[in-house]
Amino acid sequence: MHCPFCGHEETKVNDSRLAGEGRQIRRRRECLKCGERFTTFETAELLMPLVIKGDRGRETFDEGKLRAGMEKALEKRPVPREQIDEAVSRIVHRVRSLGDLVMEELRHLDEVAYVRFASVYRHFEDVEAFHEEIERLRSARAQAPPQLQAVRAARHKRASPRAANRDQLPLLPPDPAANDAGPGADGKK
């Protein structure tokens, strides 16, 4: 973290504690060059939904605009700043959890759609992240009640001709080298 006073790139953390109902970490820092102290707040960065404005335009949810609107409404009212911060924190948490709600519903509707949405919402960086999410799906599927497993199997059988091997989700095209290794692969019959 660069010092906001002198721009030096090395600071040390003197104190860390939870803030914002446990959704943030408040860190007290000190610059190793100029000795100035400052506070930073660390929060998880998640994909936020779009907000539909009064003119039907869309823009990404902005916590700063929410805070400014609430402060304007509470202007000259006897409400402490800490209570406003806590309220904003609760609202932001609920908005962020909408993505989790969408993922849960997609998981029940269609696993491929679920993985697509999860890849954006959770910022998948590589194929390994997809693999881990698919393994979580398989584990959840194995723990589902037998009635739900039967419903999913019947739905998948109607929707896909490849329902015979449900344990293999086709993420990547088949490896052509694996097909060439069988009998007759050298062109002889």
- Report pLDDT for 67: 93
Q: Which residue has the higher pLDDT, 189 or 40?
A: 40
CB-neighbour burial class of residue 166 (10 A; exposed 0-12, middle 13-18, buried 19+): middle
Q: Which residue has the higher pLDDT, 166 or 35?
A: 35
- pTM beyond cutoff 0.75: no
Q: Which residue has the higher pLDDT, 186 or 158?
A: 158
pLDDT tens profile 90-110: 998 888 788 778 888 888 888
- Report pLDDT for 163: 45
Find which of 3-7, 42-46, 134-138, 157-161 is predicted with most confidence, using mean pLDDT.
3-7
Going by C-beta distance under 8 Å and a sequence separation of 6 or more, which residues neighbour residue 32?
A: 8, 10, 11, 12
Answer whether residue 181 shows pLDDT above 70: no
Cα 88 off chain centre by: 20
- Report pLDDT for 108: 83
Q: Which residue has the higher pLDDT, 6 or 181?
A: 6
pLDDT tens profile 111-132: 888 888 888 777 788 888 888 8
- Report pLDDT for 96: 79
pLDDT tens profile 20-72: 777 788 999 999 999 999 999 887 766 677 777 888 888 888 889 999 999 99
Pairing of strands 50-52, 58-60: antiparallel
Torsion sign, CA atoms 60, 62, 65, 70:
positive
- Report pLDDT for 185: 47
Measured distance CA(56)–CA(127) in Å, rounded: 37
- Report pLDDT for 47: 64
- Report pLDDT for 38: 94
Question: Given the structure tokens 């694996």, which residue do they identify?
Answer: 178
Q: Which two tokens stand for residue 133?
A: 């999410």
- Report pLDDT for 164: 44
Q: Is 44 in a helix, a strand, or coil?
A: coil
b/e map 127-160, b = 16+ CB within 10 Å: eeebeebbeebeeebeeeeeeeeeeeeeeeeeee
pLDDT tens profile 151-163: 666 665 655 554 4
